[in-house]
Structure 1
Amino acid sequence: LNDKDVFISNLQKEIEKQTGYRSARRRRSESHYDYEVYHSLEEIQSWMLEVNRTHPEIVDMFSIGTSYEGRPLYVLQIGKRSRPQKKAMWIDCGVHAREWIGPAFCQWFVKEAINSYQHDSVMRRLMNQLNFYIMPVLNVDGYHYSWTTDRFWRKTRSKNHKYHCRGVDANRNWKVKWCEEGASSHPCDDTYCGPFPESEPEVRAVAKFLRKNKKRFKAYISIHAYAQMLLYPYSYKYAMIPNFGCVESAAQNAVTALYSAYGVRYRYGPASTTLYVSSGSSMDWAYRIGIQYAFAFELRDTGYYGFLLPEALINPTCTETLRAVKAIATGLLKKCQVNRDVFPYI
């Protein structure tokens, strides 16, 4: 490939395929919810309310706060109500507004968790022994803006007093090596770290919730796009995490499970060496507060469609990713031996 290669000759047409009339008609004309099209924020939030209403025995919906523009930050808790202090796994999607396959996956996961509970013994065991906390859209303002105004918007929508540029990179705003390498201090940049750590109400709300419940959370997963990678700490430095063996093994199992669906290969490893160095990421932060398994997925593809992954690829992408997430969750139920001297959080 070189700089002159044209992947998509009519970009506007591809954008309209996902946001336009055809898609909207398909979404609304069917009585059932279509998991193979992209959904607006309003549709996703209505769907969350509906899932909560129709499956009260395994679903609980709540808000952890409000966004900069005043939208509720909804989370779904999914799991069999067997005992109060079950181990938990957190999955967030839609941190970066333009990465639409993320929210599509979070919805897909919920659908599969609910629908396959009866006939899938693995999912039933996971639902019985774990609680899953799913946040389909973390950056609600940015996601809404990517539907209405700028399909390639990445950041939040907070205002900056000195500059006209809006928004902060919600994956550079966490309190771990904040605003060091791989983050920008300029408000107009896509990787702007914000005026201070947790300046964004969306980041602050998630951080507060996870801090409060950190003893129960055994895994943190953030879903991004695109690159076809499964990343784990550290992002901010070239160093090996204390429980490297356990995490590396979990990642390997996950990408093997993912590959088994359609033969799609994912690279896996520490984010700093596998992707690039970045500071203030949610994954590093989750690991720092003691969540031993912290991952970030970069879903399909590797650049042909990029952020405009066609709706036809939602099903295979979500199907293979589900296998990977189930592999990680299954691994949580087994004990992995960690040297407690080097990892005192346990």
Structure 2
Amino acid sequence: MWIDCGIHAREWISPAFCLIFVHYSLSFYNQNPDITQILDNMDVYVMPVMNPDGYKYTWTKNRMWRKNRSSKKNTSCIGVDLNRNFDANWCTIGASPDPCEEIYCGAFPESEPESLAVANFLRSHKDSIQIYLSIHSYSQMLIIPYSCSMDEAENHSDLYEMVKQAAENIRRYYRSVYTYGPGAKTIYLAPGGSDDWAYNIGIKYSFTFELQDRGHYGFLLPPSHIQGACNEALTAVKTIALKVIEKTQTATGPRETV
């Protein structure tokens, strides 16, 4: 399982979740049965901040900055939207070729060192990675492919059932409402996204989570909401991971204990 956070600089709850996920995993392994089962059956890669330069900039200069901080020739505008920079219907409707726009797709797919590094790692591990998760905010949504087109994923029904169950568990335990479904139909067309690209290279359980809230605080979620937002996301991660483990073990048999 791969989890990345902080692809968009201003979405501070996202890196917070990655760190809380690591802390929870270390603290509750062999205590909580769900996380124990997940860690006994999966290696987990966690990237706490995919966009470190942009993230730092939101702390020091501009709290609402979205893109990375790369500079380009022939323009004074800074940055590329890393979640429009992957090779999934790259720079079509829902992205912009204008370097001054917040959804600027970059000069070409994987033009940015951040997206290129992640893409190279995932390509080299695509045969073993079962789940791709990208954590964003805000709007409380659990998104499945595709966002880059109106097409449905080949395993749409499996993916849809997983996010439906995750949303139901969040509502049951925390009374929070999360909508769910394919990105293009649930939010808007967003080509060049990491989740669609990961799905297309063969990682068939690919998801984007949009964490709290639904717009009252937006990107400026107060510290008092951090734990609750992360608990909700953790519930969704565990729901999905356990379902994928069940499906893969049904297909291949349980992992041998050595």
CA contact (8 A) 1:261 1:319 kept: no
- Over the residues paired in the alignment, what is the CA RMSD in angstroms? 1.1
Q: Which residue of 2 aligns with 1:71?
A: none
Q: Are residues 1:277 and 2:189 paired?
A: yes
Q: Which residue of 2 aligns with 1:103?
A: 15
Q: Which residue of 2 aligns with 1:112?
A: 24
Q: Are residues 1:246 and 2:158 paired?
A: yes
1:64-114 CA distance string (max 9 Å, x none): xxxxxxxxxxxxxxxxxxxxxxxxx10000000000000000011001111
Q: Which residue of 1 aligns with 2:94?
A: 182
Q: How much does 1:160 deviate?
A: 1.3
CA contact (8 A) 1:94 1:143 kept: yes
Q: 1:312 aligns with which of 221, 224, 233?
A: 224
TM-score normalized with structure 2 length = 0.95
Query: How far apart, CA to CA, are the structure 2 residues paired with 1:198 and 1:246?
Result: 29
Q: Which residue of 1 aligns with 2:234?
A: 322
Query: How far apart, CA to CA, are the structure 2 residues paired with 1:258 and 1:206?
Result: 29
Q: How much does 1:274 deviate?
A: 0.2
Q: Which residue of 2 aligns with 1:286?
A: 198
Query: How far apart, CA to CA, are the structure 2 residues paired with 1:245 and 1:154?
Result: 32
Q: Give the number of aligned pairs.
A: 249
Query: How far apart, CA to CA, are the structure 1 residues paired with 2:148 and 2:30?
Result: 42
The runs of at least 4 aligned residues of structure 1 exceeding 6 Å deviation read none
Query: How far apart, CA to CA, are the structure 1 residues paired with 2:247 and 2:63?
Result: 43
Q: Which residue of 2 aligns with 1:151?
A: 63
Query: Helix, strand or coil: the match of 1:335?
Result: helix
Q: Are residues 1:94 and 2:6 paired?
A: yes
Q: How much does 1:119 deviate?
A: 1.1
Q: How much does 1:257 deviate?
A: 1.8
Query: How far apart, CA to CA, are the structure 1 residues paired with 2:115 and 2:230?
Result: 25
CA contact (8 A) 1:183 1:279 kept: yes
Structure 1 gaps, min length 5: 1-88, 337-346
TM-score normalized with structure 1 length = 0.71
| Bigger radius of gyration among the two | 1
Query: How far apart, CA to CA, are the structure 2 residues paired with 1:261 and 1:97?
Result: 29
Q: Which residue of 1 aligns with 2:212?
A: 300
Task: State percent identity of aligned pairs.
Answer: 48
Q: Which residue of 2 aligns with 1:204?
A: 116
Query: How far apart, CA to CA, are the structure 1 residues paired with 2:242 and 2:188?
Result: 29
The amino acid that maps onto 2:201 is I
Write 1 or 2 for the structure with the bigger share of helix. 2
Q: Which residue of 2 aligns with 1:213?
A: 125
Q: Which residue of 2 aligns with 1:164?
A: 76
Q: How much does 1:303 deviate?
A: 1.0
